[in-house]
């Protein structure tokens, strides 16, 4: 892939924007791109937009100087969309993306529609951070850049447990470790450490989960009332679906997060043969074959029935 320095060569003011509700891969890729351009193209004016900065990744911007939570009203020479399969995933940054002179998308989602002027998409990559690493000169990857890239890779691979982990993924991770990053601390802090609120929410969600389709599918619902009761934030939900996925005998795990009156954010994970991305795409969502999501409306039972109908169709097929 083309070096990121060459991609931005004709732009002076650049916006790097991640998707709504940014996760570890999105956050890591945005921060890594910022440092790479800051260190190698110091004449560029850089702005990084993230809707929020997930608390457990906040050490990547310890001085709170990199990430902006508001999009400047100015027009940019270039907007780089990171880890976003569609322009509307950018949220508040979508308008700036549409107004920009030039646009670039760096992503790994199979559902990406190649919507930018230049698209650097590798669906075989474990993460956007892996794609981004391929757009960097190895000797120009500093410790700061390596830290951000490593966070994104371990997040999207579930610490190298998911099937999207390849030989190249492991080789890149090894090269990043060679930069002297505290990788063991990162794994504990970003993947396994939980607040007491997260532990309570996890326990309540697992306790109320139910198995359907002869135990091949497990479903759990997190209501607004539960979130309020525990004082939980959206990021406190991360990781819960993985506990559902590893239930013995389960092929598909579904987690519904109530976001409004009869409105749900749906997360799905499969273990072997079900293509959950295909199901998510039917409901205007997207993602990967074994990890995808969408937004749906209706009662809990309606949402579950609609999803399991598609799962059953794939099982029969």
For residue 291, report the phi and psi dihedrals to the nearest 5 degrees: -150, 115
- Tell me which of 252 and 235 has the higher pLDDT: 252
Q: What is the CA radius of gyration of the chain?
A: 19
| Residue of 128, 206, 125 lying closest to 163 (CA atoms) | 125
pLDDT given at position 282: 96
Flag whether pLDDT at 268 surpasses 80. yes
Taking the C-alpha atoms of residue 47 and residue 26, their distance in angstroms, rounded to an integer, is 15
DSSP H or E stretch at residue 108: none
161-203 residue pLDDT tens: 988 999 999 999 999 999 999 999 999 999 999 999 999 999 9
4-192 CATH? 3.90.1640.10
- Tell me which of 280 and 316 has the higher pLDDT: 280
Do 289 and 251 meet the contact criterion of CB atoms below 8 Å apart? no
pTM across the whole model: 0.82
136-155 residue pLDDT tens: 999 999 999 999 999 999 99
Output the CA angle 274-275-276, nearest 5 degrees.
100
Query: Domains of the chain: which residue ranges?
Result: 4-192, 196-316
Taking the C-alpha atoms of residue 95 and residue 271, their distance in angstroms, rounded to an integer, is 37
Do 29 and 132 meet the contact criterion of CB atoms below 8 Å apart? yes
3 state SS of 31? helix
Do 90 and 26 meet the contact criterion of CB atoms below 8 Å apart? no
Structural fold of domain 196-316? Diaminopimelate Epimerase; Chain A, domain 1 (3.10.310)
Cα dihedral angle (158, 162, 166, 170), rounded to 10 degrees? 30
Domain 4-192 and domain 196-316, same fold? Reply is no
pLDDT given at position 8: 97
pLDDT given at position 271: 95
Model confidence at 287, in pLDDT bands (50, 70, 90)? confident
pLDDT given at position 317: 72
Taking the C-alpha atoms of residue 23 and residue 55, their distance in angstroms, rounded to an integer, is 11
Q: Indicate the pairing of strand 210-212 with strand 217-222.
A: antiparallel
- % residues pLDDT > 90 (the chain): 93
First to last CA, the chain: 37
Half-sphere exposure of residue 235: CA atoms within 13 angstroms, side-chain side: 18
Flag whether pLDDT at 1 surpasses 90. no
Taking the C-alpha atoms of residue 213 and residue 200, their distance in angstroms, rounded to an integer, is 28
Taking the C-alpha atoms of residue 194 and residue 128, their distance in angstroms, rounded to an integer, is 25
Measured CA to CA in angstroms, residue 310 lies from 51, 249, 313 at distances of 32, 19, 5
Q: Whole-number mean pLDDT of the chain?
A: 96
Taking the C-alpha atoms of residue 109 and residue 124, their distance in angstroms, rounded to an integer, is 9
- % residues pLDDT > 70 (the chain): 100
Give me the mean pLDDT over the 264-281 stretch. Answer: 96
């Amino acid at each position: 892939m083309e070096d990121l320095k060459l991609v931005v060569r004709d732009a002076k003011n650049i916006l790097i924007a991640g998707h709504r509700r940014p996760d570890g891969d999105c956050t890591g890729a945005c921060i890594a791109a910022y440092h790479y351009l800051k260190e190698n193209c110091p004449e560029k004016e850089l702005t990084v937009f993230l809707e929020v900065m997930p608390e457990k990744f906040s050490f990547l911007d310890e001085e709170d100087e990199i990430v902006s939570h508001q999009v400047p009203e100015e027009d940019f020479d270039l907007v780089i969309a990171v880890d976003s399969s569609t322009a509307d995933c950018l949220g508040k940054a979508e308008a700036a993306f549409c107004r920009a002179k030039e646009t670039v998308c760096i992503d790994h989602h199979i559902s990406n529609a190649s919507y930018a002027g230049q698209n650097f998409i590798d669906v075989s990559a474990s993460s956007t951070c892996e794609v981004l690493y391929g757009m960097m000169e190895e000797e120009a990857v500093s410790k700061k850049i390596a830290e951000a890239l490593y966070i994104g890779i371990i997040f999207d691979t579930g610490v190298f447990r998911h099937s999207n982990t390849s030989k190249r993924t492991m080789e890149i991770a090894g090269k990043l470790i060679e930069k002297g990053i505290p990788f063991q601390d990162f794994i504990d802090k970003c993947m396994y450490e939980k607040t007491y609120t997260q532990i309570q929410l996890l326990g309540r969600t697992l306790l109320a989960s139910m198995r359907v389709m002869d135990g091949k599918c497990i479903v759990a619902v997190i209501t607004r009332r539960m979130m309020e009761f525990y004082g939980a934030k959206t990021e406190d939900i991360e990781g819960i679906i993985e506990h559902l996925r590893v239930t013995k005998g389960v092929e598909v795990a579904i987690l519904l997060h109530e976001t409004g009156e009869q409105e749900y954010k749906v997360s799905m994970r499969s273990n072997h043969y079900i293509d959950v991305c295909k199901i998510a795409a039917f409901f205007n969502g997207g993602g990967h074959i074994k990890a995808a999501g969408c937004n749906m409306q209706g009662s809990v039972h309606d949402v579950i029935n609609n999803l399991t109908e598609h799962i059953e169709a794939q099982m029969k097929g």
